[in-house]
Chain A
Amino acid sequence: MSDVQRGWTCPVVHDQTDRITLAHGEGRRAMRTLIGKRIAPLLGAADSCALGDAAVLPVIDRPVVMTTDSFVVSPLFFPGGDIGTLAVNGTVNDLAVAGSLPRWISLALIIEEGLPWETLARVLESVGRAARAAGVEVVTGDTKVVPRGAADQLFINTTGVGELIGDAPHGPASLRPGDELVGSGRIGQHGVAVMAVREELGLEPPPVSDCAPLVEAVAALRRAAMPVRAMRDATRGGVATVLHEWAGESGLTLWVDEPRVPISPVVRGTCELLGIEAIHMANEGTMLVAVEAGYGDAAAEALRRVPVSSRASVIGGVVARNSEPVLVRRATGREFPLDEPTGAVLPRIC
């Protein structure tokens, strides 16, 4: 990787003593020391020996839900989180929106040779903190060190296992005309936060990622016995991508009322300035929920009772398929086709 992708930290030679080296990846002893003495304590593992190559999980009398995801965000740190919080919450949220209670995760690190130990330690502390906040336990993991250039500083894979609570939502194929769409919070915050750091946009205050576990939000819907058809965390491609995916899977038309979509003043200003659309930008702690007709307001109210979704609101609905899969009603009161984002969103000047 060239320096260009790294946000221009000038390649000044630092003290070489405390960096991850290829030896950590090859030597058994160096690796054991790295994991046992240094990584495990940061993760808050009660017993460092427990962090072995395999974890034995207790038998539970409910169906288990499993997911896996890899995290390659650049830069590693951004306001509101880092690759560690992202690696936990991304996987936790995939489990939560599938209707399960997240219980255990694995943590696989792919480290580029030369990564400062301090950087890794910061990320691992975040992983530990995020896992505790989300109520999951890091039970197994893996560490690989690759030669310089073979990875961009640090990649993380997490696999998560959760237990299904009640019935799983039937998913987007079960959507019906009249269903209501609820957004769990302000949109676009993660994508804008990462773009602002990556492109060094000099924004003040810097936009902050929404990276957070949605476990409590899903539990709130469950407690209120909401008839949920589908839930999805609106990650890459933002809310627009979820709407397109659901429209495709249901064969129906989904619409959103743009003025009702919650958006922070910081994200709003940034999007206007850069000519980008918040609805295309990634979220990491915000989900879209489809509920049966008539339950939108109740679902939003249930969500608002927990901090992670305190700004939930009904933002749209489902109608029979017309000429467009997804429509957006703009402030002018008119409805327009909403495009699916293609490729990376780039700031524009024209």
Chain B
Amino acid sequence: MKYLDEYRDAAVCERLLGKIRARASRRWTLMEVCGGQTHGLLRWGIDDELAGIVELIHGPGCPVCVTPLESIDHAIELARRDDVVLTSFGDMLRVPGSAGSLQDARGVGAGVRIVYSPVDAVQLAARCPDKHIVFFAVGFETTTPATALAVRQADELGLTNFSLLVSHVRVQPAMELLAADEHCGVQGFLAAGHVCTVIGYEEFHAFARRFQLPVVVTGFEPVDLLAGILACVEQLESGRYTVDNQYSRSVRSVGNRDAIRLVDDVFEVCDRPWRGFGNVERGGLALRPQWRAFDAAVRFPRASLPVVEPPECRSGDVLAGRIKPPQCAAFGRSCTPDSPLGAPMVSSEGACAAYYRYANRRTSLDVTAGDDGVSNDVRAAT
């Protein structure tokens, strides 16, 4: 497939890996902000290839990981209503709320349906006038044009049986929190290429200057990821900290103006609690007052009481890069992928789940191979 296969080319990846290894005079710590990039790094084994040369900290850019417990509980509560069908992306189905996931709720009869696009949820509402269709709107800036469009379409169609349960988040405030944290060891950021496709990267110039950290707008295929890492290492090695765009086939500095206009028309910036982070100032988007008719939280206020995260879960510290998952007392003991306490253990690209699988594999290596078990133990623990 064009624009995918060329960016998975073995020879180009090899050259980029060689270039990064040769260029790095020391070990650098970078954060890939986006969960999609984490997925790519793990799928293509890039983190492993660069072990000891570039350490990649998996950032908080995973809606599955940061959507607050209250929102998931609220979504489940809505799905249980006889008159409501809750729609969302497949990603959200397995994420645990305080008592089970949407998938669990569906198993006992709640109306939950996966959609590929929010505009498909609008079509569903048009076809099923006797049900109220709620779309659980999670995701970063990339997803906001699609949900804003859904609201505008529902309005144009005169639908009164469609609304959004909004839990949209904005990436930059979280990056600022991370960069300002003195325990955060991140020396450079790979900015999320698809977020920047929508919002551009002009705002990152001030960020790079303020925190003296390089920011490289990066794509998602292995060649893109490696080119982004190389550009970041180049900046670090030469003591620069600017904004670099390595995903220029899609990202323009001003973003997509049509998309920004659409989002601005429907949403406004708000404070939002992030799972693992607590309240993030200006960290979310909410429907503007004139679109309140489409706000599921207004239409169906939450009945359940606010809940607290399990106190032993340190996912906030993990997401902020302050600790590695094995440093959490619950890791691998009371918290496993089969019974997760925190979201990073849920999603397959979550930092805790990734570490859990990695650590388990090293244990089996120790038993069967035994020759280089020590170095691998060290790698798993550091």
Contact = CB atoms under 8 A, between A and B. Distances in A.
- A–B contact (CB under 8 angstroms): yes
A334 B143 CA distance: 32
A2 B348 CA distance: 30
Interface centre among B5, B45, B124, B143 (most CB of A within 10 A): B45
B291 interface: no
Contacts of B362: 323
B328 interface: no
Contacts of A321: 368
B99 interface: no
A343 B14 CA distance: 35
A350 B139 contact: yes
A349 B91 contact: yes
A332 B8 contact: yes
Interface string A197-238: 001111000000000000000000000000000000000000
A52 interface: no
A272 interface: yes
A332 B128 contact: no
Interface residues of A, number: 33
Contacts of B44: 330, 332, 334, 336
Contacts of A178: none
Interface stretch (B51-59, B68-76, B107-115, B171-179): B107-115
A336 to B, nearest CB: 5
Contacts of A339: 348, 357
B361 A324 contact: yes
A337 B45 CA distance: 9
A174 interface: no
B222 interface: yes
Given A331-B8, A336-B43, A269 B116 contact: no
Interface string A319-347: 00111100000111111110100110011
A268 interface: yes
Given A332-B8, A350-B139, A322 B369 contact: yes
Contact of A272 (B4, B89, B94, B109): B4
A207 to B, nearest CB: 14
Contact of A269 (B1, B10, B39): B1
Contacts of A28: none
A272 B90 contact: no
Given A322-B369, A347-B89, A199 B114 contact: yes
B175 to A, nearest CB: 17
B35 A350 contact: yes
Interface string B86-125: 0001110110000000000010010111111000100010
B45 A334 contact: yes
A272 B1 contact: yes
Interface in A261-292: 268-269, 272, 274-275
Given A322-B369, A323-B364, A350-B139, A331 B5 contact: yes
A318 to B, nearest CB: 16
Given A202-B116, A269-B1, A330-B45, 8 more contacts: A202-B120, A272-B4, A331-B5, A342-B337, A347-B89, A348-B90, A350-B62, A350-B91
Q: List 6 A-B pairs, minimum CB-CB distance, nearest first.
A: A346-B90, A323-B365, A333-B10, A347-B90, A331-B8, A336-B45
21 contacts: A2-B111, A4-B106, A8-B127, A269-B1, A272-B1, A322-B365, A322-B369, A323-B361, A331-B8, A332-B9, A333-B14, A334-B13, A334-B44, A337-B357, A339-B348, A339-B357, A347-B89, A349-B90, A349-B116, A350-B63, A350-B64
